[in-house]
Each structure stands twice: as structure tokens, then as C-alpha cells.
Amino acid sequence: RKEVEQDPGPFNVPEGATVAFNCTYSNSASQSFFWYRQDCRKEPKLLMSVYSSGNEDGRFTAQLNRASQYISLLIRDSKLSDSATYLCVVNNRGLTGGGNKLTFGTGTQLKVEL
Amino acid sequence: EAQVTQNPRYLITVTGKKLTVTCSQNMNHEYMSWYRQDPGLGLRQIYYSMNVEVTDKGDVPEGYKVSRKEKRNFPLILESPSPNQTSLYFCASRPWDRGDNYGYTFGSGTRLTVV
């Protein structure tokens, strides 16, 4: 089983649609969680951190369910500019106890169309 | 502007010819890390460094070396590159004292081809 699993997509949605991405992770001791956005062949950029209480940033809402080891991202009123790959990222302490180890999902591709 | 700078952006080299990919950050971040990204495999950690002179292996360290002599720089060294190291490489950094939920800043990437 992969440490972080995502549906690769692509999700093709019309402009204005609401779309939801899901992600599961295998390490119950993981400390922190993120969604990153990656445009084709470019660097990942932080979209938002994810908290158990849920957090919202404009049209984007992220949610963490620690009991189910499940992370979600909801995009409302999607725009053409939202077309990208969305990476689910989990942060674990390194084996030495001090380091940080990011584990990435392989990403979910979103295509927003007119 | 706060950033992570990688050089070169693109590199084509031959098997066995030593090369170095540089990474520099201007944010005084303690933590730096290297990743490679391959189709279907996502980003995988190669090496990371918690501070000057402190480095450790990630998931795929074979064939790579790193050094951290200065806080701002974290070069990735391929002593004898092989074709299976053809990949897209990213350097990332973050401060150590901002908590686990603080995100990482990534460099623009280095696309390496080994022939």
C-alpha cells in the first residue's frame, strides 16, 4: 500500500463546478498535512495546510479526518486557472526524531473547461 | 524576494560525468531537502539537512551526495550519473521554528537528462 494515495484523475469539470479530491495516508502518526498545487513541469506551491477542524481559503476548503486517515480538498466555483495537479502531502518526523519527511501522493489532475 | 534558487534549470550530461546541482535560499531557513519527481511515482525525498553540517538520507539516496557547509546552500552531487537518474529535481526549504504546519518553499526545478 502506498503511504499516500490519491485518485490520479483527470477530473474534467466545467467552469463554475464544485469538485472534491480525496486522499488517504497510511501512517497514523503523521504530524501535519498539506495540499500543494503543481502546474505542468513547475515547482509545487503550497495551497493550504490541513487541520482536523477544517480550514477554508476563499473557494478552497480542506478537511482532515485523523480517525479515517483521510484528507479532502473542495474547490467551489472552479476557474480555468484552477487547472493543475493537486498533490496531497503528509509530513512525518524522520527516523532520527528531528527531521521532517514529506511524503507526496502522485497527484490528482484537474482540468477546468469552458 | 524570498526564494529558493536552483541551477541549472536544464542539464543534459553523459553517463559517469560528475555534476553538481546547486540550491540556495535567502530566507535563513534551517531545513533543506532534495526531491526527485518521476512519472507515476510522485516526488521522493533524496536527502535532507536540518542545519549546517547536519544531513541525512531520504527514501532514495543511492547515487547522490549532499553537503551543507553554509546555511543558505545545499548542493546535490552526482558523482557518477547514470541514465536512471534522469529526472526532475526539486530543492525545498522551510524554517525550523514555525511548527509542523508551516509549508515548504520549492525551487523552480532542475530537469536532468543522463545519456
Asked whether B94 and B103 are in contact (CB, 8 A), the reply is: yes
Q: Tens digits of per-residue pLDDT, B13-54?
A: 999 999 999 999 999 999 999 999 998 888 999 999 989 999
d(CA A83, CA A95): 36
Q: Which of A45, A91, A107 sits opposite B42 (nearest CB)?
A: A107
- Nearest C-alpha in A relative to B43: A104
Burial class (CB in 10 A: 0-12, 13-18, 19+), B67: middle
Q: Is the pLDDT of residue B59 over 80?
A: yes
Residues 48-87 of A with CB under 8 A from B: 49, 51, 87
Give pLDDT tens digits for A52-85. Answer: 888 999 999 999 999 999 999 999 999 999 999 9
Q: With CB atoms and an 8 Å threshold, state whether B58 touches A101.
A: yes
State which amino acid sits at residue B48.
Answer: Y
